[in-house]
Amino acid sequence: MKLKLHLILLLLLPLTLLAQTNIKVLDAASQEPVAFVTVKVNTQKAVTADDKGELTINLSEPSNLFFSHIAYEEQNVLVPASGEVTVYLVRGENALTEVLVSSFESERPLLEQAAGIARVSEADLYRFNETSIVQAFNTKPGIRIEERAPASYRVSIRGSSLRSPFGVRNVKVYWNGMPFTAPDGTTPLNMLDLSNIQNTEIIKGPAGSIYGAGNGGVISFTSKESVDENRIGADFSVGEFGLVRYRMGVDQKLENGGVSVSYAKQKSDGYRDHTAMDREVLQVTGYFQPSKKQKLTTQILYSDLFYELPGALTAEQVAENPRQARPGSAAQNASINQKSLYGTLSHDYRFNHNLDNKTSLYINTTDFENPFNLDYKKETQYGYGGRTSFTYDDIWSNVPVRLIAGGEYQLSKTSAQNFGNNGGQIDTIRFGDELLTKTAFLFQQLEAELSDRFLMTVGLSENFSSFNIARNIDMINGVPSNAKRTFDPVLIPRVALSAKLNTNAAVYGSISSGFSPPTIDEVRTNEGSINLDLDAEKGVNYELGYRSSFNKGRVNVDGSVFYFKLDETITTFVNEQGVVLFRNAGATNQKGIELLVDYALIRKQMSFVQEVKVTHSFTGHYFEFVDFVKGDNDYSGNDLTGVAPNTLVNQLDIKTKPGFYLNFTHQFVDDIPLNDANTVFQDSYHLMNSRVGWRGDVGKAFDLEMYFGVQNLTNASYSLGNDLNPFGGRYFQPAATRNFYGGIKVGLKY
């Protein structure tokens, strides 16, 4: 009898060790069941909920379960070993009602935001070759990123690159909530690898009421915000023109946080002669939560970047051989060698349910070396700064309000020398400067929910900036000098109103001001002149927009029209020596329409083809000079230089249940005027890109992705970035012809 009892107990033992957990999955907004959700535990095979969103799973201990569904955001949830559990899933980024954005320091759904905002997700970046942000950003209306040579970026948001012959200017960039744009107005965007970016929000048009100087908008990058699993990952990809990229990363959970380490290496020979590129990026991040009220994040970002500058070609040189470099570029070793270290500390603290604060500090150093055809520059820069923001929620006379107030301060010191270039080697010094740049602003913003339908926003910032150029060595004039400029304090207001038409549609209107003082690189030019007469740009933007989601997020519309009046527009021209100089060009009128429509033709969790999604993006920028007269030339009424009047992007995305996917992109770019006189244009072109691949799980702990892609499928001839108003007709920077790439990603959860 005892023997039988022991046998029964042994048979029942596994059942006592594995308790049952009953799970119900609901839509976070509608509270309706989500059918056929896939649920995975590291130690078990994936299981699927039934048509009522219910399933039962056996667990030996509390475990992290991974929930996925084609129409919802993926989510990790810690569930107990037994009992009843309800899990709420948020609809995916297709639904404007569910997409939360942090623009203007306000965590609200995109549907409620009263501004032109574009979002570039991690999935957008991975539709293309993972070596550059260019193609993904260029699918968004109103945004154009150019890459004149590998890693040589130029950013244009609503035509803002007019004053950027090279580099990123007139656009404010943040990385994980901290200023990434230097106080002199330039941004080292090329020091970032794609692995340092997970999500991007872009404010189109002036946003000075809360982000300070800059008429061209704001780009806010965020990398991974927490560690929710232990994982080791590795990526490897290759492509034509000598492209090789690999990345290794480790995520390690800790008791109250986690640590993430990522290293990426990318090399290429480039399509054109003298366009080699070599970059290494290391990011170390620590996430800590000392208490329920606070969160602490610290990061170290180190980037070692080298790339060659081929220079622009004339139309005749392009016809002869588009792969050649500008004569003299290779002989003079025209290139950029840049080493940057960026350290950050961010602290979030919730005082109570009404008040919280986020404070971020950074420190950075940069060594910069730039031999060019005409000279040789060396710079060493040191800088620091920070930003703090308080958010207070309350109810005034039955009106919910949110007050946001804070400030930002940045300082940089630069030791800059300009030498002659003798065959790519430093020659006699021409001038040496000590540069000091300071910028600061205070901001205040009030959000008032006037009713269930109306949200009003009023913002204001007070801006202060100055720079000092101490010329200690001057071989041109022979006498040291000092140039200093302090700009008068500038008040930048913004008023916006958002109105819900129903739960899935809204309209908005806004009036916002902006200003953009000249940068040191625009005042202090390569041939040694200092132009203190260059005035700051000032403008006012008027905008109306409409957003809506239909059929549970399967159809989305986001459109806007705007009018931007810009005074003292800064433009470029080139003197006979080939040096880029700057001047104020009177005023410009910038009228535009931007529209994005996406719709899911198929979205079925249990079918072989789970999703077929189509996206259309249209940009109509009809910008012209007003009252622009230089000497005997009257450019008034001409189209704004460097801006395509019409751009259209079409995308097709297919996902299957086994894990195979297809991404296809078509882009049309209209004729682009390349000089102020509108006598030279880049011809319109069609660009097509495609990527196919498979991603899924292999066994219990491994995830795998393999992909193959082609860029410039139809072998179009075009320039992804032209020189504007150049001397000698050197307008064109030919982009690569048809080229192929492929890669593999593998991850191990432990």
Task: Name the one residue in this structure whose structure tokens are 């993904």.
Answer: 136
Q: What are the helix (H) ranges across 63-133?
A: 122-125
- For residue 524 the two structure tokens come to 């202090």
- Of 39 and 279, the one with more pLDDT: 279
Q: Which of 369, 373, 306 is nearest to 333 (CA)?
A: 373
Residue ranges of domains in the chain = 20-89, 220-749
**Tens-digit pLDDT profile for residues 668-684:** 999 999 988 999 999 99
**Tens-digit pLDDT profile for residues 171-195:** 899 999 999 998 888 888 889 999 9
**Tens-digit pLDDT profile for residues 269-290:** 999 999 999 999 999 999 999 9
20-89 CATH pick, 3.40.50.12780, 3.50.50.60, 3.40.50.300, 2.60.40.1120: 2.60.40.1120
CB atoms within 10 A of CB 294: 15
Tell me which H or E stretch contains 100. strand 100-101
Q: Which of 363, 145, 131 is nearest to 236 (CA)?
A: 131
Using CB atoms within 10 Å of the CB of residue 541, give its burial: 0 to 12 exposed, 13 to 18 middle, 19+ buried.
buried
Question: In the chain, pLDDT over 90 holds for what percent of residues?
Answer: 61
Cβ-contact 387, 372 below 8 angstroms: no
Residues 6 or more apart whose Cβ sits within 8 Å of residue 727:
574, 575, 576, 577, 578
Per DSSP bridges, beta strands 172-175 and 178-179 are antiparallel
**Out of 303-317, 336-350, 383-397, 713-727, least confident range:** 713-727
CB atoms within 10 A of CB 368: 18
Task: Name the one residue in this structure whose structure tokens are 């300071």.
Answer: 438
**DSSP helix/strand/coil, 188:** coil
pLDDT the model gives residue 51: 85
Q: What is the pTM (predicted TM-score) of this model?
A: 0.89
**DSSP helix/strand/coil, 198:** coil
pLDDT the model gives residue 2: 53
Residues 6 or more apart whose Cβ sits within 8 Å of residue 152:
166, 190, 307, 309, 336, 721
What is the maximum alpha-carbon separation in the chain? 114
**Tens-digit pLDDT profile for residues 301-349:** 999 999 999 999 999 999 999 999 999 999 999 999 999 999 999 999 9
CATH topology of 20-89 equal to that of 220-749?
A: no
pLDDT the model gives residue 577: 63
Cβ-contact 275, 240 below 8 angstroms: no
Query: Has residue 15 got a pLDDT over 50?
Result: no
Q: Which of 736, 730, 737, 734 is nearest to 327 (CA)?
A: 730
Rg (CA), the chain: 27
Segment 16-23 mean pLDDT: 72
d(CA 173, CA 185): 10
314: left (phi over 0), alpha (psi -120 to 50) or beta: beta
For domain 220-749, give the fold. Maltoporin; Chain A (2.40.170)
Residues 6 or more apart whose Cβ sits within 8 Å of residue 610:
70, 602, 603, 604, 655, 656, 657
**DSSP helix/strand/coil, 643:** coil
